[in-house]
Structure 1
Amino acid sequence: MIKEKRKERVYAQIKIGKVGVALLVRKMAIDALRLANTAFAVDMFKKLCEKDKTANIVFAPLCTSTSLALAYKATKGDTATQMAKALHLEDVKDVLFGFQTVTSDISRLSSFFSLKMVKRLYVEKSLNPTTEFINATKRPFPSELELVDFKEKTEETRQQINKSVSELTDGKMENILNEGSINDQTKILLVNTAYFVTNWMKKFPEAQIKECPFKINKTETKPVQMMNLEATFCLGYVKELKTAILELPCLNKHMSMLILLPKEIEDDTTGLEQLERALTPETLVQWTNPSVMANTKVNVFLPKFKVEGDYDLKPVLESLGMTNIFNENVADFSEMSETKGVVLSQIIHRVSLEVNEEGAELSEVPGYRILQHKDEFKADHPFIFLFRHNKTRNIILSGRFCSP
């Protein structure tokens, strides 16, 4: 009897050990994917900045990496190698599991926020994707893959996609595909859209919103509606770049806005070029690490603003080394289809972000006015921002604000 009980205990310990190892392996896979997605987000940001040094930018890196990860699982050979390198997936052991977990967690955000994200890979149905491919990608990418008829019903398909995207974004993203944007030769179309309106953990008081000058450069300003709030926030500082980093939590702390703000405009640019040069996946992780930021009483000035981005990402991805997927002579999508000459025909990426004062009422009593020994964070000149999902630490939206 005693021997049996000992055996049961040993088996139980072995079982617990196996579960622990499995959980550790899964955590390592998710951490590796987070680092990969962060690196890809920084790469995209820097490429978009290169195109225009002074433009406002907003994009949804997680939408793109998710859709491209699905396309990556359809590829083989050099095409797959290029995609893995550009997406930084070489060290991610289980790409499908990682994206399945992240997609599941982030899909829950829509119940708390005005956040709508569309990540779709529209595939011409005559390519006859294999049953094995469809089944293998169904769980990690439950709504990302859709078979359509570009070949025989081009216009009808265009209208169908427009209607679908409009419905998925509550009518915020209309006519994602212009007339003539697809044709009967379209093979694979990638569509990313994201729409987000902020909802803060702490509401910015309406009475504190005032028109203020926003410095575009050393000599020019534009008027902006400036919000103001005094409260305790997480604040960091990059001494060598004279840049403050503020974390503004959104409702229930599911997401945070991280703002990278140089102290002043010290050159003849927007004041961001030095910071953009120094920004790498490694420095971003280092600068925003909770261990180097501290809870501080801060007097925050942040403009109300709305920015929109509409990009053809093909040249961006090509400049990151992802060239094969666009070239029918070398593209290899044989993991999905036996048809030759399959390429990613087009990538549509449209994002809208609205930053306003809305949020939960302040719980501090008697109010925001009496906080002492506070730092000031005054975003009255260009800054870089990102919205991070705090559970998975993936970047959902990123960009820069240079001009009202």
Structure 2
Amino acid sequence: MDALQLANTAFAVDMFKKLCENDKTANIVFAPLCTSTSLALAYKATKGDTADQMKQVLHLQDVKDVSFGFQTVTSDVSKLTSFFALKMVKRLFVDKSLNPTTDFVNSTKRPFPSELELVEFKEKTEETRQKINKSLSELTDGKMENILNEDSVSDQTQILLVNAAYFVTNWMKKFPEAEIKECPFKVNKTETKPVQMMNLEATFCLGYVKELNVAILELPCLNKHISMLILLPKEIEDETTGLEKLEKALTPETLLQWTNPSMMANTKVNVSLPKFSVEGDYDLKPLLESLGMTNVFNESASDFSEMCETKGVVLSKIIHKVSLEVNEQGGESREVPGYRILQHKDEFKADHPFIFLFRHNKTRNVILSGRFCSP
């Protein structure tokens, strides 16, 4: 286990739990790796207590070389874009009037190749906003238009952090189109909504958390570069989504333990999974403040002296937009028909709320995570 992967997993779990606290029943999707990468770049610019708080919140205490670690992960993850409809945009827009030192700018070029951009919020606010929107739209293949609305920036904006990510699944084994049926999805104990349910019988990795009565399924995407892990309680036992107990028990440690390959076994499974799309749009400032990252937003306490001599520099805003589409597309399933009658088959029927994460298998970082509670 490398220290950076542990750090990023811990940060992803912290973020997930905060987003769940903010809204007990909403669908959630966010891109933790985008946020930790952008914040790692901002961390490089800070000193003193500001840096210490960021290090704490990002769990970087044991990471020897933060910049090099992220450089490696970014380079590995960026290779995925040739296999998948996956875009992960991470940008730190810094106002030119802050005069970042040449040394600082140069030191970011290698580990964070396209993440730092100097712009003119102060002099040309509206023009800069439009320019950024245009470039973000191009970077996301036109999927994300007008990420910055008119209130997002002003002539007072100093540093703006933007994450924009989207992913469309492409499975190793596609779900047969003929097997997609409309089914009721239990939103809570009493209410259902119709959903397009995909069905597939194949061999997958399945695990079980006995004390929580939760099944965990790994669905590999094409070439096994990425896997979707689904955490599904057996039934809805609480008064909201049925996920309360699981969300409470979820920690960086339990997540790694539950999804450890040694805890899961290859099993013939009948999988039922809804076709769904979720979008997330978050202002992460309050979330990060509640985790203990406060100085970076507070002009009387922040210290960006690794980047510039200007006093009172703050991170003005953090915009986080994510879109995920889960559909049936994928490679041809080449399952050998066996003695089907004799063979035991497990059922994995995601017809009620579940937690999901998409893991990059090479670096074991969580690319996207969230929960699906309602169609």
TM-score category (smaller protein) = over 0.9
Give the secondary-structure state (helix, strand or coil) at the position aligned to 2:157: coil
Q: What runs of 5+ residues in structure 2 fail to find an aligned partner?
A: none
Q: Deviations over 1:289-312 (max 9, x none)?
A: 001100110000000000000000
**1:329 is matched with which residue?**
300
Q: Is 1:129 the counterpart of 2:129 in the alignment? A: no
Alpha-carbon shift at residue 369 of structure 1 (Å): 7.6
Q: Deviations over 1:12-65 (max 9, x none)?
A: xxxxxxxxxxxxxxxx7xx10000000000000000000110000000000000
Alpha-carbon shift at residue 365 of structure 1 (Å): 3.8
Distance 1:102 1:371, change over 3 A: farther
TM-score by length of 1: 0.91
- Once residues 369 and 230 of structure 1 are traced to their aligned partners in structure 2, the CA distance between those partners, rounded to angstroms, is 11
Q: Is 1:108 the counterpart of 2:79 in the alignment? A: yes
- Once residues 170 and 367 of structure 1 are traced to their aligned partners in structure 2, the CA distance between those partners, rounded to angstroms, is 43
Task: Map 1:393-404 onto structure 2 (within 5 A).
Answer: 393-404=364-375
Which one-letter code corresponds to 1:242 in the other structure?
N
Q: Is 1:159 the counterpart of 2:130 in the alignment? A: yes
**Structure whose residues are more often helix by fraction:** 1
Q: Is 1:34 the counterpart of 2:5 in the alignment? A: yes
Distance 1:371 1:76, change over 3 A: farther
Q: Is 1:234 the counterpart of 2:205 in the alignment? A: yes
Give the secondary-structure state (helix, strand or coil) at the position aligned to 1:164: helix
Give runs of ≥4 in structure 1 deviating > 3 Å. 365-371
8 Å Cα contact 2:238/2:244 also seen in 1: no
Give the secondary-structure state (helix, strand or coil) at the position aligned to 1:396: strand
TM-score by length of 2: 0.98
Q: Is 1:71 the counterpart of 2:42 in the alignment? A: yes
**1:25 is matched with which residue?**
none
Give the secondary-structure state (helix, strand or coil) at the position aligned to 1:147: strand
Distance 1:371 1:260, change over 3 A: farther
- Once residues 189 and 340 of structure 2 are traced to their aligned partners in structure 1, the CA distance between those partners, rounded to angstroms, is 31
**1:186 is matched with which residue?**
157
Aligned length: 375
Give the secondary-structure state (helix, strand or coil) at the position aligned to 1:351: strand
**2:311 is matched with which residue?**
340
Q: Larger radius of gyration, structure 1 or 2?
A: 1
**2:254 is matched with which residue?**
283
Which one-letter code corresponds to 1:138 in the other structure?
K
8 Å Cα contact 2:358/2:368 also seen in 1: yes
Q: Percent identity?
A: 87
Which one-letter code corresponds to 1:262 in the other structure?
P
Which one-letter code corresponds to 1:314 in the other structure?
K
Which one-letter code corresponds to 1:182 in the other structure?
V
Which one-letter code corresponds to 1:72 in the other structure?
Y
Alpha-carbon shift at residue 180 of structure 1 (Å): 2.9
Alpha-carbon shift at residue 269 of structure 1 (Å): 1.6
Q: Deviations over 1:299-329 (max 9, x none)?
A: 0000000000000000000000000000000
Q: Is 1:149 the counterpart of 2:127 in the alignment? A: no
Q: Deviations over 1:226-259 (max 9, x none)?
A: 0000000000000000000000000000000000
Distance 1:235 1:137, change over 3 A: same
Q: Deviations over 1:314-366 (max 9, x none)?
A: 00000000000000001000000000110000000000000000000111245
* Selected match of 1:96 from 48, 67, 86: 67
Q: Please tell me the root mean square deviation across aligned C-alpha atoms, in Å.
A: 1.2
- Once residues 217 and 173 of structure 1 are traced to their aligned partners in structure 2, the CA distance between those partners, rounded to angstroms, is 32
8 Å Cα contact 1:304/1:356 also seen in 2: yes
8 Å Cα contact 1:297/1:371 also seen in 2: no
**2:322 is matched with which residue?**
351
Give the secondary-structure state (helix, strand or coil) at the position aligned to 1:295: strand
- Once residues 291 and 97 of structure 1 are traced to their aligned partners in structure 2, the CA distance between those partners, rounded to angstroms, is 30
- Once residues 372 and 269 of structure 1 are traced to their aligned partners in structure 2, the CA distance between those partners, rounded to angstroms, is 36
Give the secondary-structure state (helix, strand or coil) at the position aligned to 2:39: helix
**2:16 is matched with which residue?**
45
